[in-house]
Amino acid sequence: MHLTRKGVHVKIDELKSDFGLFKNLELSVGRVAEETWTEPTGPTPFPSVTALRDWDMKLLQRYRPFYLPYCDVCCLCTFGKCDLTQDKRGACGLNMAGQQSRIVLLACCIGAATHVAHGRHLVEHLIEKYGRNSPLDIGGLNIDIEAPVTRLVCGIKPEKLRDLEDVLDYCEEQVTQLLSSTHTGQEGSNLDFESKVFHAGMVDQVGMEAADIAQISVLGFPKADPEASLTDLGFGVADVSKPTILVIGHNVPSSVGIIDYLTEKGLLGKVEVVGICCTAHDITRYSSMAKIVGPISWQLRYIRSGLADLIVVDEQCIRADTLVEAQKVKTPVIASSEKNCLGLENRTATPSEKTIADLVENKVPGVLILDSDKVGEVAVETVMKIAPKRGRFKIIPELEKIVEAAKECTECNECRRACPNDKPIPEAMKAAAKGDLNPLAEILESCVGCARCDSACPNDFPLHSFIVKAGEEKLCKEKFKMRVGRGAIQDVEIRNVGQPIVLGEIPGVIAIVGCSNYPQGGKEVAEIAEEFAKRRFIVVTSGCAAMSMAMVKDEEGKTLYEKYTGAFDAGGIVNVGSCVSNAHIAGAAIKIANIFAKRKLRANYEEIADYIHNRVGAVGLAWGAYSQKAAAIASGFWRLGVPVVVGPHGSKYRRMLLGRQDKPEDWCVLDARTGDKVYVGPAPEHLFTAAETKEEAIVLLAKMCMRPNDTSKGRAIKLTHYVDLHRRLFGSLPNDIHLFVRNNTDIPITMKDEIVKVLEEKGWQEQRIPDPTLLPRLVRERKG
């Protein structure tokens, strides 16, 4: 038996009974749950904010923050603004390093709170519909460790939906504690802020896991299925002859309500349900009838195209001007989340007929409905009636209008100066004035869909719409195949790949995740993914990145998902699902330590993270990361010791965590066999860094898969990829190769001559390969 954290506390001043008189009696009773997990509880169950601080500091000593302030001031309180330039301190006493780390913590708290609140809503909703005793089952017989992150962090084994309530209680408490430390006059050390950032990330992973295992278990999503079906994706996927509902966001119940209502009324196939962003991922995990338009940056182009007859938004990453834009194309909007009410009238308690009539007759631009079943009914009935009336009304202009406007363009450059990717819009407009729309169409290929160009134009030209129109022909033909999110990684898959990953024979796990704030368009994500899949790495993906890598076809018209297996194995491209499914990527790394290496799992965070950091060659890549959630997700991986690379826009996250390969003293571990301090080279070199180009990212990812524990065979394989990629993309041998060769057998045979020459030039000396750990308590035998 064990007591959960949620308990009852009773205090009685005086109690008379047959046994006697009791005074000042206090009883604490937790919720009694059946204990089926016999593993003893480890050192850090439900860790507090500082419980893992020592571990964090070990990482932060090696990976030092490099702060990149956006601006010189702090404006968070009325003491300010305070000028923090160089070594100045603000009125509260905080300096620039403290302020930047505080901002990073704020971002990660926002991200973690978002996932935890998402999980809370899902769990409450599913409990209300399916009961608190609904079992958690995310992989049937293929998965024993159903919640590796939760087990590791909290030290409990959740078995039913109700168990996740306790888990989320913990997460909410921690996020509140962390957020409080960002108040003026609290934390004063940048490194302690950074430790709290790691804590926020860890809590975020727990929140994501709770959310995804709840929805997988109850909604019948694919359960760790490597052969999850292929779904349609692209701007042109919808049969626009049918009424079309567009769902946007991350939290799937309202979309499920739509599918359920269509099913109940026999209307499946008569209404198109298409999605953008992670709700699209999750609704295709729920129903094969749903389709995906594209990633987050596809919102505005789709809404303005008028192809959606009705829009349902839930939460996260939804454009704040959705209602404004939807009104321009006469598309009603249903908001379905307390977090995103859009100023709309709450019609949750209004009879559906009344709401439907008001929407169809355009008496209201949209409504707020906080009941997913009612959303389903109102959305479907409204779209059936309104679609014929709308007639696909759109505000994407005709080509003649663009040419006409282009002739009035003064090339003032305001659009370009507003564009995150500095796209040459003025030059494209100049060409358009002469009737050549190709330059505008080319911009669409790398447009992130922010429409800042629209806002900036002094002539009020809808430049984003011009760009969309110019590329419309190609855009509308876009149809791709993406493998539906499979959820977790099976235990048996971990058993099969654990050894080759830890020994280095599978050269690495590349997790390509995150949003679509790409510097050069989503095709780069597909190129990076295929580079590593071809090289027999394991490529794992989720969220918008999983969509972007589907949006490229080869000469035979096949997407990556049609060419590569969905199994967690060498050469696989494994789509785990939506943002909250990122927990399964962390879970896979944790399960390697637990299932393959038999390390204790229960509340044993530090040891498992130490194992992963030194042995599991996994690296995250968030090439288009933009959000606070992405920051939180990354920070969860940092605490586990997994490095993360972001694209160039990720440099705006305000700090990197960088190792210094020129400081050999930073790269020593303890040999767990002897306690000796052993130099192991900069592996992995960074915990968080931004790459400027895809070429740099590819080389960096290959390098950052090296780990101190690699066997010589494994290291030789990893070096082969690193050297080969460096030579191809950088045009030379890496200048740091001597830092990664520990002995002669590490040297790839096919490159032996040239590498030996470099080693001689560098005065290289052989190093031994230890049983690496950063934790003195894991040393088995000490000399002397």
Interface positions with another protein (CB under 8 A): 64, 66-73, 83-87, 96-97, 414, 417-418, 420, 422, 456, 519, 648-649, 651-652, 654, 656, 658, 660, 662, 686, 689-693, 695-696, 699-700, 729-732, 735
Nearer to another protein, 67 or 130 (CB): 67
Nearest distance from C-beta of residue 685 to another protein, angstroms: 9
Report the nearest approach of another protein to the CB of residue 141 (Å): 46
Q: Is residue 39 exposed (0-12), middle (13-18) or buried (19+ Cβ within 10 Å)? A: middle
How many angstroms separate the CA atoms of 699 and 43, rounded?
38
Q: How far is the CB of 411 from another protein (least distance, A)?
A: 12
CB of 92 to another protein, least distance (A): 17
What's the CA gap between 634 and 201, in Å, rounded? 7
Structure tokens given for 650? 């990720």
Contact of 200 with 116, CB cutoff 8 Å: no
Q: Closest distance between another protein and the C-beta of residue 34, in Å?
A: 50
**Nearer of residues 258 and 698 to another protein, judged by Cβ:** 698
81 upstream amide cis, omega within 30 of 0: yes
- Kindly tell me which of 179 and 729 has the beta carbon lying closer to another protein: 729
User: Helix %, strand %, coil % for the chain, to 5?
Assistant: 45, 15, 40
By beta-carbon proximity to another protein, the closer residue of 617 and 650 is: 650
Closest C-alpha to 390, from 566, 270, 244, 253:
244
DSSP state of 593: I
Whole-number Å distance between alpha carbons of 527 and 537: 14
- Secondary structure letter of residue 297 according to DSSP: G
CB of 696 vs another protein, minimal distance in Å: 4
The residue to which tokens 């130490």 are assigned:
610
Query: Which residue bears the tokens 């932060």?
Result: 60
Q: How far is the CB of 632 from another protein (least distance, A)?
A: 20
Determine the number of helices (DSSP H) and then strands (DSSP E) in the chain. 28, 23
Cβ count within 10 A of residue 30: 15
> What is the smallest separation between the CB atom of 73 and another protein, expressed in angstroms?
5
Burial of 190 (0-12, 13-18, 19+ CB in 10 A): buried
Residue 650 CB, nearest approach to another protein (Å)? 9
Please identify, using beta-carbon distances, which residue of 302 and 653 lies nearer to another protein: 653
CB of 286 to another protein, least distance (A): 38
Amino acid at the residue 539: V
Nearer to another protein, 66 or 764 (CB): 66
Q: Are 308 and 331 in contact (CB under 8 A)?
A: yes
Burial letters 60-90, b for 16+ CB under 10 A, else e: bebbbbebebeeebbebeeeeebebeeeeeb
Other beta carbons within 10 angstroms of residue 389's beta carbon come to: 12
Q: Tell me whether residue 36 or residue 732 sits nearer to another protein (CB atom).
A: 732
Distance of CA 98 to the CA centre of its chain: 26
Instruction: Report the residue number, 173 or 427, with the smaller CB distance to another protein.
Output: 427
Report the nearest approach of another protein to the CB of residue 99 (Å). 10
Question: Which one, 54 or 72, has the nearer CB to another protein?
Answer: 72
Nearer to another protein, 586 or 645 (CB): 645
- Ramachandran quadrant class, 557 (left: phi over 0; alpha: psi -120 to 50; beta: rest): left
Report the distance separating Cα 503 and Cα 714, nearest Å.
Answer: 6
d(CA 260, CA 122): 17
For residue 113 the two structure tokens come to: 């709170």
Distance (Å, rounded) from C-alpha 650 to C-alpha 517? Answer: 9
Least separation in angstroms between CB 100 and another protein: 9
Q: Which is nearer to another protein, 64 or 129 (CB)?
A: 64
Identify which of residues 509 and 700 has a Cβ nearer to another protein in the complex. 700
Helix (H, G, I), strand (E, B) or coil at 64: strand
**DSSP 8-state class, residue 553:** -
Q: Rank residues 350 and 520 by Cβ distance to another protein and give the closer one.
A: 520
Q: CB of 94: closest distance to another protein in angstroms?
A: 13
